[in-house]
Structure formats: structure tokens, C-alpha cells
Structure 1
Amino acid sequence: MCGGLEREKVQFTMEKSPGFLFFFAFLVAVKLCLTSQVQDEVKKHCDQKLLIRMKTKCVPCSLNLDTQCPAGYTKITNGTGTPDCRYYLEIKAYTLSFPGCRHHCVKEFEQPECCQGHWGPDCMGELVWSLGVLFSYGIQREIKQ
């Protein structure tokens, strides 16, 4: 009580504010809509990750320590590499074979690919055939049979 006047308590509850509930429901709907659009975009592209493997040239193991993989490849062997090959040395009319070493290298490559039912460079939408008309996400073409 202040000066004989009572102040009313203002109580804010969700039951008494339908505007708040409407706004909250609107935000939830927008979030769900945006999330589903992102998921649809992800579903169009089913890119395949490929691992390309290669081996360096076979050389004497003592010379293989500093051998590098080609640009873009990662060396997956250590030290002098793997002693799993033979290199050849020609002396006059003879060819001699010696055990050698080589390094194994890998490169990850992503092959662009559309998911099943999608096509083209942008992985356009699924094609739907209905009563002689071909539909595809807003593109309509009549097909003469």
C-alpha cells in the first residue's frame, strides 16, 4: 500500500496472451519449414567419396626416404616405404633385378552424384508422370504419345 492505493498485480501467463502463443507457433512452423528445405537439398545430392590409391616408383630402399607422393596425394607409408617391389638396372647387355622400396599414397576424391530420381548438374527434382504430362518441380511438359 502506497498512499492508500493498492496496486494490482499483473500476472503474465501464456493462457492470457494468445498473441504470444500465435507468435511462438509461427516461429516453430518457420523453423520446421527451413529444416525440411535443408534436408530436401541434402537428399538431392548423393556424392560418392572415392579413395584413389597409387604407389611411387620402385627405387633402392636407401634412396626412398625422401620420395614424395604426387601433388594432391598423401603418403601413408613411413620411412623408406614398403619393401614390396623390384627395380631393374641395365648394365651393357644384362638387366639386373634388385629388391626395392616404394611408398603408398592416397587421394580422397568426391564424385558428384545425384540421388535416385534426381538428374542433371543441379540434381533437379524427381520426375512425376501424370495423365500424359511430365512434372518436375514446377517444370511441366506435355509429352505426345
Structure 2
Amino acid sequence: MSNVQLSARPEIDLNQFLPYRLNRLADCISDKLSQLYAEKYGLNVAQWRVLAWLSHGDNLTAKAICVHTNMDKVRVSRAIQSLEERKLLVRSPSPGDQRLQVLNLSDAGQDLLAELIPQAQAWEAELVGVLTSAEYRDVFNIMGKLERQLATGLR
């Protein structure tokens, strides 16, 4: 037998690693929710996110949606083009800068969201129904703290 000792290989228990668990949970939630708007409305995740951000107000640019959704420019651009082809949103030149295109929900887009948003909110309510109101509030407080920590420039 050899006297060579093998060094312990570093390992990580991903089930106890917060970034992994949060990502897995987010993916699972997104996948389950996407079934609602994919089956009934023919929307993919990117299209839903664009529409959801446009529900907050008019005159958003594709760049602003990229920032808000953390989706890349190509994915947002494809979603916008598809939504425009379906006449769910309209693009027009920005009054302040003709180089920019602003996005607004069309009447059809507003009608779709008027039906879809309550269903998405009901789905969320069912998901978080296992939490007390204090736990629900704590989840958002904790996420806010982690987001602020990341915003400080944590590598």
C-alpha cells in the first residue's frame, strides 16, 4: 500500500447553498406560472415580463425593460417584435428623442392583461397561501436586504 494521502476534494452541498436554492425556486415558480399564460394566452416568459412591465405605465423603452427584467437585449427585442405582430403593443418614436422607440400597450394588450393579471395574482396567492402574513412580509424584507447587499458592489 502506498503512503500517499489523498487530499479531500472540496465539495458543496447545493441544498444548503442559498444562491442555488433561490435560483431553483425562482425557476420552478417561473415554470409553473408560465403554464398559466402559455397555455391560455400563447405567451412565453419574456413576452409576459414585457407586458407586465408595460402594465405599470406607458412610454417604456426596450432598454428600460432590459434593466427592469434583467433580460438580455435580444430576448427583449424578440418579445417586443412578437407582441407587436400580435398587436398587443405599439411602438412609436419618443417625443424627446426621435432615436428612441417607446412602447405602449395597445387596447388588445390592455384587455389581455385585464384578464391575465387577476389570474396571475390568484396563482401567486395560492402559492403563498402556506405562509403567514408575517412570513410573507419577511420574505420580501429578506429579498430586499439581499438585493441591497448585491447593489453595494459585492463581487
TM-score grouping bracket, smaller chain normalisation:
under 0.3
Structure number with the higher strand fraction is 1
TM-score normalized with structure 2 length: 0.21
Larger Rg: 1
Which of structures 1 and 2 has the larger relative contact order (alpha carbons within 8 angstroms, sep 6+)? Answer: 1
